Amino acid sequence: MAEITFDGVTKIFGDDIRAVDDLSLHVADGEFMVLVGPSGCGKTTALRMLAGLEDITSGTLSIGGSVVNNVLPKDRDVAMVFQNYALYPHMTVAQNMGFALKVRGLSKAEVAKKVGEAAAILRLTDYLDRRPKALSGGQRQRVAMGRAIVRSPQAFLMDEPLSNLDAQLRVEMRLEIARIQRLLGVATVYVTHDQIEAMTMGDRVAVMRGGKLQQCDTPQDLYDHPRNEFVAGFMGSPPMNLLRGSLESNDSGLALVLGSQRLAVPSNYATSHQLPKVDGPGVVFGVRPEDIEVLEHSGSDSLSTKVERREALGAEILVHLALVDAVGNDAFVVNDSGAVVSRPTTLVAKMGPRSGVSVGDQLQVRLNPDHFHFFDTDSGLSLRRSS
């Protein structure tokens, strides 16, 4: 078991395609690290460099304190679980699981013992003589896990191992993988594009975009304190509502101007955040869907909205709310030059399944003032001062 360190690791394909750009990341011994991001963000390339399947253009990659930049995959002592499992189709489950041990020259008795132990952990004992094609998706996934854990490697590398499973099985296997990882206490790097997997499985989550690391934090910190607009918009389902507005100050205090509406901003944000000057270049305001509630009457901390769409999910409903101005027309959110920008002018709110909201309703909604987020309009970085 060992820790993993990416130190300024860069991968360039061809002449100028930077798949991974100056990645610095530390995975502690026994930690479950999830790399998450949209397609093409470089997460799988980072994992493949760690496995030794891709060369590193620059930077240093260490496993257990030893630099492995030029170490062959077989000598890195890492085990990898692939997206499509990559089980050897001509071998039985037992042969698949014991193959790496056989290659390393272990005796038949040792291989059988280790395979038996791993099969017991994964509840595969009854399937050891079957070929992969005679297994279900979930069983194949467990065999792929078994092939990894039987080696007792320094680190587990998992490349979207649940993406081929149906929704229900995915939930089960999510718990199973997390259970096994905690049982074995081996450092794990897990790649996924599914932020629910990232939030539920990882000790820490590293969000990537365009080859660059955006933020690495515990799931809750990532959710509560996104470092930039991208992380705010990527983590959470549905994601954080992001609206462009400007700040103004009047007798009753600080207010955020969204179209023709004003939303009171508690004074503590002036100290906890590095807010732009009043009447300055504006700000990107964020609020989570669960921090929006319907009010009976209007107030300084509420917005007038119109229900545009309603999505019933069973346990909750997602209500798409368009901002409306004082006379009831849809509000525009404009940029510094007065032009309409592409940023959404709608809010998505999570509401209870029995809240009688219908399309076309005019609603007065309150945004929870304890959970406001502010981002810089140019850089997209959070304006929250680091505590």
Partner 1 sequence: MTTLVTPPTESEGTGEPRAMKKPRKVGRWILFGAMVIVAIVMLYPFWVMVITSLKSESQFLSGGGFSWLSWSSLTSVIPVGQEVLSSTILCSASIFIILCVGLPAGFAFSKLRFRSSTAVFLVIVSAMMVPLQAILMPEFVNVTKLHLTGGYTGAILVYAALGTPFSVFLFTTYFRGVPDELIEAGIVDGLGYFGAMWRLVLPIAVPAIATVTVLQFIQIWDDLLVGLLFIQNTSDRPITVGLAVLAAGRTTSIPGLMAGSIISALPAMLVYLGFQRYLVKGLTMGIDR
By beta-carbon proximity to partner 1, the closer residue of 190 and 285 is 190
Measured from the CB atom, the residue of 68 and 222 that comes closer to partner 1 is 68
Smallest gap, in angstroms, from Cβ of residue 48 to partner 1?
Answer: 8
90 versus 277: smaller Cβ distance to partner 1? 90
> Residue 295 forms beta bridges with which residues?
364
Rounded to 10 degrees, the C-alpha dihedral 61/30/212/235 comes to 170
78 or 333: CB nearest partner 1: 78
Which residues, in sequence order, are bridge partners of residue 215?
207
Give Cα separations from 170 to 89, 93, 157 (angstroms): 23, 21, 18
Q: Is the dihedral of CA 122, 126, 128, 132 positive or negative?
A: negative
Establish if 73 lies at the interface with partner 1 (CB under 8 A). yes
- Looking at beta carbons only, is 61 or 240 nearer to partner 1? 61
Q: How many CA atoms lie within 13 A of 307 on its CB side?
A: 20
Applying CB under 8 A, the site for partner 1 has a residue count of 20
Cβ closest to partner 1, residue 150 vs residue 347: 150
Segment interacting with partner 1 (CB under 8 A) among 70-78, 286-294, 329-337, 370-378: 70-78
| Alpha-carbon span 162 to 79, nearest angstrom | 17
The candidate with the shortest Cα–Cα distance to 24, out of 53, 71, 59, is 59
90 part of the interface to partner 1, by CB under 8 A: yes
d(CA 2, CA 164) in angstroms, rounded, equals 29
C-beta of 164 vs 200, nearer to partner 1: 164
Per-residue binder mask for partner 1 (CB under 8 A), 47-66, x = binder: ----xxx-------------
Among 20, 49, 100, 189, binds partner 1 (CB under 8 A): 100
Under rule CB under 8 A, residue 71 binds partner 1 = no
Separation CA 206–CA 27 (nearest Å):
10
CB atoms within 10 A of CB 316: 16
Residue 88 near partner 1 by CB under 8 A: yes
Pair 358, 307: CB distance under 8 Å: yes
> How many Å from the N-terminal Cα to the C-terminal Cα in the chain?
34
Does residue 99 belong to the site contacting partner 1 (CB under 8 A)?
Answer: yes
Q: Which of 3, 64, 69, 82 binds partner 1 (CB under 8 A)?
A: 82
The answer to whether residue 84 forms part of the interface with partner 1 (CB under 8 A) is yes
Pairing of strands 212-217, 187-192: unpaired
Q: How far is the CB of 358 from partner 1 (least distance, A)?
A: 34
Candidates 25, 36, 80, 201; binder of partner 1 (CB under 8 A) is 80
Sites of contact with partner 1 (CB under 8 A): 51-53, 73-74, 78-80, 82-84, 86, 88-90, 99-100, 103-104, 147
